[in-house]
Amino acid sequence: MSNFTQNPFASTHSLDTNPFDDPSPPQQPGDAARLDALRQRELDLERRETELAAKADNIRKHGRNNWPPFFPLIFHSIPDEIPEASQSLITRLYQLWLVLAATLVLNVVACITILIAGSRDGGRDLGASIGYLFIISACSFLLWYRPIYNGYMKEQALYYYFYFFFGGFHLLFSVYMIIGVPSTGSAGLIQMIQMYANHQWVAAVFCTIATVGWTVQGLGNAFYFRQIYAHHTAAGHTMEKAKTELASHGAKAYFTRG
């Protein structure tokens, strides 16, 4: 009797299935990875668009040039112009240039104290140190820091050869300033030793600080000079490429941001 009391309209699994349904095939693992990659690309594009809009707004408000801060002549922005993988290296080089600029100032102060201490070459040291302050600070920025900045930004061989030539000259100049021969405008080692020997303590201390500054920026630049040469070699830059770039773009490429 129980068989006859069952609900004849009760649904079964086979009856519940809609013959017109077309169930989607199961998602493959590769599909999920592709979707994630597409979403990441979309996020990166949105982030980049936001950064470009902010940069354009900043340029519209403050102008393109931002360096030096007290009298902007050029645009200088490591986060905006240097690839992320190379930003730390260029930042370190910029910091070393700032150490150089500070050392040039301290070198002038040290030469003033040498003159006050009664050195017979004090006048020549002071005059030469003032010349270094203006000439070396400007030339070092334009002739080796700016070329390698542009080199990593544009990845062009010409800038690397600019850097190697003038950066190498700067390393030799650093050795010359570390030695500190009297009457040459350097408050380096020889001047420092003479001031200590003559018990001119104030001059000796400033000469010590200047010598440390010359040594720090010199060793730092030598360390990164090797790294940059290795990068230049790995990137396949050659003198032929540099000549081609010079013939194609001319000297104006040095001043343009493209």
pLDDT of 13 reads 47
How confident is residue 210, by pLDDT bands cut at 50, 70 and 90?
Answer: very high
CB hemisphere CA count around 2 (13 angstroms): 0
Helices within the chain (DSSP H only) = 2-5, 13-16, 29-62, 78-81, 87-116, 122-140, 146-154, 157-179, 189-197, 201-234, 239-249
Domain residue ranges in the chain? 85-232
Average pLDDT, the chain: 86
* Cα separation, 159 vs 144, whole angstroms: 9
Place of tokens 């630049």: 221
Selected residue with higher pLDDT from 13 and 254: 254
pTM of the model: 0.74
In this predicted model, what pLDDT tens digit does every residue of 16-32 receive, in sequence order? 455 545 555 555 666 77
How confident is residue 61, by pLDDT bands cut at 50, 70 and 90?
Answer: low
pLDDT of 247 reads 81
User: Exposure of 207 by Cβ count < 10 A (0-12 exposed, 13-18 middle, 19+ buried)?
Assistant: buried
Beta bridge partners of 74: 67
Task: Answer whether residue 169 shows pLDDT above 70.
Answer: yes
Instruction: Tell me the residue type at 143.
Output: L
In this predicted model, what pLDDT tens digit does every residue of 81-106 receive, in sequence order? 999 999 999 999 999 999 999 999 99
Cis omega (within 30 of 0) for bond into 68: yes
pLDDT of 2 reads 47
Rounding to the nearest 10 degrees, give the CA dihedral for residues 220, 168, 178, 87.
-20
- Cα 204 to chain centroid distance, Å, stands at 34
Task: Answer whether residue 219 shows pLDDT above 70.
Answer: yes
pLDDT of 4 reads 46
Collapsing DSSP to helix, strand or coil, 86 comes out as helix
User: Exposure of 28 by Cβ count < 10 A (0-12 exposed, 13-18 middle, 19+ buried)?
Assistant: exposed
